[in-house]
Amino acid sequence: MKKLYLQKDILNGKIGEQMIILLFPLFLGYLLQQLYSFVDNIVLGSLISKQALAAVGGSATSLINILLNFVGGITSAITVIVAQNYGRGDMEKVNRSVRTGIFVSITLGLILSIFLIFISPFWLKMMNEPADTYKLSLTYMYLYFGSLTFYFVYQTGISILRALGDNRRPLMLIGITAVSKILLDLLFAGVFKMGVFGTSLATFLSHLICAGVVLFIFDRTHDVYQRPLKDMTHESEDIKQIFSIGIPFAIQSMMFAIPNAMIQFKINSFGTDAIAAYSAFNGVDALFWCFSNALTTATITLASQNFGRGNIARVRKVVGSSMIAELIGSASFGLIFYFCGRSILTLFLKEEAPLQIAEQMLKLVAVSYVIYCAIDPFSAVFKSCGMTKAPMIIAVFTICVSRILYLLFFPINDPLHAIIAFPMSWILTSIAHLCYYIIRKDVFQKDQI
């Protein structure tokens, strides 16, 4: 069977150079994804109202983030399985894992969509959503979750292409999503004055468009993953592998989102100004996570293929290159946000009261980014090597439990006190990941497996 389309050789050569080659298109892709959220927040906060910004960026987003972390866990598992099979040179398994991945994304997307639409009202009541934003939040959640299957297929397609070293077409797909979302957003919310409903409809249609483009590309590509819908399979062995890897991934990722929902609950108690400030803070803070997520994806791709080939010496080099890149990126973003954060926040907020709160939040977190530099590189490599349980347990205790205990027992007298939970948990998580890497000498001190 012929070689995969546009596959880059990342099994040989200098790891640092390959990391950079993979990282920058990924980072640009994540920035494009974040761009339409950026535009969302600008349209909502500047053209509509702070209530609209709070409705979309508050309790609704906290549940959506839990969902996205779950979806990310499953698609990361598909990335690892496809990349490992390619590293082994087993094209039949690559073919089968692609088709099974598409099947899982469609089936699971439909199930989750129905479930999340059903629980949305209960979630908002549990989160103590203010009356002036409740209906707006519910509208956004209904349309977002209605498009979940499309989003799942889109993310799965991108993950498959990245697993094979193809960064050009994922970037193109993300660009189509960003442009369509921004244009529809400006049309519905800006020109037609449809408010939160217009923004929500723009999100729904952009997910639909991109799922269609993913399937069109796969249908027209003459390769081992051509026409996954026509020949879609659900091999029980592959499904079991996707979930055995993906569920721990998802739980690990959700350990960030679940306590963050509690932070949102605390923020809600301080009123609409605090909610709008936190939404604006999240919009700016997300730019750093674009870089961090891009680095994680690049690390997973590099480490998975080399682990599949059995070259542990190169996997160790991936860890080192990833940590250096994370340190440089975290320090750079921290300095920019600390000194220029207020100027960026004014894109979302015009009133002084929420702007001051958001600026304080951003400065606190900006100086803490460097603490995070050991977490994603180690976590990504553990995932790539099939070590799913220990990182999951680490995340449960150092992220989820520590943040919940802090929020329950530390007096939260203002929104800034709630934000301290972030750097506090990063310190614990960094130490735990480093210790686990050292403990697993049986894997990481070998040259080959």
Three-point CA angle 155, 160, 166, nearest 5°? 110
Distance, in Å, from the CA atom of 324 to the CA atom of 285, rounded to the nearest integer, reads 21
Q: Are 160 and 100 in contact (CB under 8 A)?
A: no
In this model, does residue 8 exceed pLDDT 60? Answer: no
In this model, does residue 364 exceed pLDDT 90? Answer: yes
Give the range among 32-36, 148-152, 196-200, 277-281 with minimum mean pLDDT: 32-36
- Quick one: pLDDT at residue 45? 66
What distances in angstroms separate CA 171 from CA 209, 222, 331, one per listed residue?
15, 20, 26
Residue 151 lies in a domain: yes
pLDDT band at 333; cut points 50, 70, 90 = very high
- Torsion sign (Cα): 211, 213, 219, 221: negative
In this model, does residue 46 exceed pLDDT 70? Answer: no
Domain count, the chain: 1
- Quick one: pLDDT at residue 1? 38
Other CB atoms within 10 Å distance of the CB of residue 437: 19
In this model, does residue 359 exceed pLDDT 90? Answer: yes
pLDDT, mean of residues 329-353: 92
Residue 278 lies in a domain: yes
Residue 249 lies in a domain: yes
133-182 per-position pLDDT tens digit: 888 889 999 999 999 999 999 999 898 888 877 878 888 888 888 888 88
Q: What's the number of CA atoms in the CB half-sphere (13 Å) around residue 449? A: 17
And the tokens for 412?
């939260």
Nearest-CA neighbor of 236 among 418, 104, 420?
A: 104
Expressed as residue numbers, the domain containing 35 is 15-442
Nearest-CA neighbor of 48 among 296, 210, 276?
A: 276
Other CB atoms within 10 Å distance of the CB of residue 154: 27
- Quick one: pLDDT at residue 416? 93
Residue 427 lies in a domain: yes
And the tokens for 387?
């070590």
Residue 10 lies in a domain: no
Residue 98 lies in a domain: yes
- Quick one: pLDDT at residue 426? 95
DSSP-based three-state secondary structure for 448: strand
Nearest-CA neighbor of 245 among 397, 376, 448, 391?
A: 391
- Quick one: pLDDT at residue 159? 87
pLDDT, mean of residues 320-336: 95
In this model, does residue 5 exceed pLDDT 50? Answer: no
pLDDT, mean of residues 57-75: 84
pLDDT, mean of residues 357-379: 93
By the 10 Å C-beta count (0-12 exposed, 13-18 middle, 19+ buried), 191 is classed as exposed
- In this structure, the chain runs to a length of 449
Torsion, CA 343, CA 29, CA 38, CA 338, rounded to 10:
-30
* Residue found by looking up tokens 């929500």 in the block: 200
pLDDT band at 222; cut points 50, 70, 90 = low
Share above pLDDT 70 across residues of the chain, in percent, rounded to a whole number: 92
- Quick one: pLDDT at residue 3? 44
pLDDT, mean of residues 81-95: 80
In this model, does residue 91 exceed pLDDT 50? Answer: yes
* Residue found by looking up tokens 């349309």 in the block: 143
Selection from 35-44, 66-75, 387-396, 400-409 with the highest mean pLDDT: 400-409
Residue 1 lies in a domain: no
pLDDT, mean of residues 89-107: 84
pLDDT band at 233; cut points 50, 70, 90 = low
pLDDT, mean of residues 309-319: 86
In this model, does residue 226 exceed pLDDT 80? Answer: no
pLDDT, the chain, mean: 85
In this model, does residue 223 exceed pLDDT 70? Answer: no
Q: Are 224 and 86 in contact (CB under 8 A)?
A: no
Nearest-CA neighbor of 208 among 151, 125, 128?
A: 151
pLDDT band at 418; cut points 50, 70, 90 = very high
DSSP-based three-state secondary structure for 431: helix
By the 10 Å C-beta count (0-12 exposed, 13-18 middle, 19+ buried), 432 is classed as buried
pLDDT, mean of residues 405-416: 92
Selection from 76-80, 273-277, 445-449 with the highest mean pLDDT: 273-277
Residue 3 lies in a domain: no
Distance, in Å, from the CA atom of 42 to the CA atom of 93, rounded to the nearest integer, reads 45
257-312 per-position pLDDT tens digit: 888 888 988 998 898 899 889 988 988 998 999 999 899 988 988 888 888 788 88
Is the pTM of the predicted complex or chain greater than 0.85?
Answer: no
DSSP-based three-state secondary structure for 58: coil
Distance, in Å, from the CA atom of 8 to the CA atom of 4, rounded to the nearest integer, reads 9
